[in-house]
Chain A
Amino acid sequence: MLHINNNTLKFEFPEIHREAVCNISLHRTTAVARQSVTSLVNEGIIPLFHIDDYSKDLPLRLLKRGGVIAPAEKEQPLYIKLSGNYPFALKIGVGKINAVSGCPWSEHLNADNQDYLVTPPQSSFAGYHEGNGRFHQFVVTALGKGATIEEQVAGTADIGGIQIIAYPMKRTAYEDYCRNCTRLSLASPASSSELGIAKGDLIAQKIATDTYGSGVWEMDSSSRCFVHLLEKSAFRKITGRDKYGHPAKIFSLDRWRRANGR
């Protein structure tokens, strides 16, 4: 099951194991050109709300996807924080482009050319992998203006947002894992309010290799979530909420375009 707790997506699989919990949250940050993601500044968690709570003010196309809505600002860098002790394999999409592999979206795990994150040990994910170890920081941008990863890779502006699928480790594999390790205790055009993810500056992101082995993931029990990113003013109009937090320092996409000759 999947629910929202403290603005965090909590993926739980009590039917597999009582400890099978993975927490995923989105955080605003600053641009960290060519720096390690360990130097990311947490400028605040991005709040999440059930999309169904605002069904009368949102287009059917978005409602059909279910999931949650999150307010965001254009040109805002963000990162995804992962936490939990139980091992999970996670697929992360940006506009249904796999952010780990740079390939079009698919729901199965590709272990040969690892296209998913493994947490633990992975604790954060901040950039889109365009190949050859080159990661671009996630930066929110308008959908439909040609700047999103989805538009640059797939040539369409239909999806936007962030997609997540969580696969827990099989119970038997987890029990083996516990024995062998010590853990810490602890289709219509996009509206102007819809946002997607663009490529920001290059960052030093590492993807933890799946050392558990691809056979340990419970492929029959996954849970997924569509995170709709909505422009802040539209979000305020739809939800009536103004509790958003202070805008972080804005990364200039224009500056990045100039620097990269685009």
Chain B
Amino acid sequence: MATYGDVVRQCREELQVKDRSYSLRQVALRIGVQPTYLSKIERGEFPPPSEKVIRQLAEELNQDPDVMLAMAGKISSDLLDVIVKRPRLMADLIRQVKEMPDDAVVRIVREVRDGDW
């Protein structure tokens, strides 16, 4: 199974084929970390970085931040806040939907209402 570092490197290298600004060094500079640090994350020598850096990397590499956080074994802090505010309700909800197929879960997601304009 691909690790967080594997996925980061694969995504970055795919982008680098088309755009040289996705070199390890330039990506590291854009997200504000040392190239050696990013290199070690990609090679799995360091554990995944902080949530903030994971989010920055996800944005830089056009990946879903929630998916990248999950790959790093983390949960987004805003989701944790949601659970902490209504722990019983949210725990119940998550357990209820855990076996549901994706299309059924999508149907219970709250839609943005359209109006007259």
Contacts and interface: CB of A to CB of B under 8 A. Distances in A.
Contacts of B89: none
A259 interface: no
Contact of A66 (B59, B110, B113): B113
A191 interface: no
B56 to A, nearest CB: 9
Contacts of A9: 112
B112 A50 contact: yes
A12 interface: yes
Contact of A68 (B66, B76, B112): B112
B11 A185 contact: yes
Interface in A23-65: 42, 50-52, 63-65
B82 interface: no
B113 A51 contact: yes
Nearest to B117: A65
Interface of B: 10-11, 14-15, 59, 61-66, 76, 78, 102-103, 106, 109-117
A257 B116 CA distance: 34
B11 A6 contact: no
Nearest to A184: B14
B109 A1 contact: yes
A225 interface: yes
A163 B117 contact: yes
Contacts of A12: 106
Contact of A186 (B14, B102, B114): B14
Given A18-B102, A66-B113, A66-B114, 12 more contacts: A3-B110, A14-B103, A14-B106, A18-B103, A42-B59, A50-B110, A64-B116, A66-B116, A68-B112, A185-B14, A223-B114, A226-B115
A184 B15 contact: yes
A159 interface: yes
18 contacts: A3-B109, A4-B110, A6-B66, A12-B106, A14-B106, A18-B103, A50-B113, A51-B113, A64-B116, A65-B115, A66-B113, A66-B117, A67-B112, A67-B114, A185-B14, A223-B114, A226-B114, A226-B117
A224 B111 CA distance: 11
B62 A186 contact: yes
Interface of A: 1-6, 9, 12, 14, 18, 42, 50-52, 63-68, 83, 96, 123, 159, 163, 184-186, 223-226
A98 to B, nearest CB: 14
B61, B109, B117 — which one has the most chain A CB atoms within 10 A of its CB? Answer: B117
B63 A186 contact: yes
A67 B14 CA distance: 36
A50 B111 CA distance: 9
A225 B14 contact: no
A4 B106 contact: no
A2 B61 contact: no
A65 B116 contact: yes
Contacts of A186: 11, 14, 61-63
Nearest to A27: B59
Nearest to A7: B78
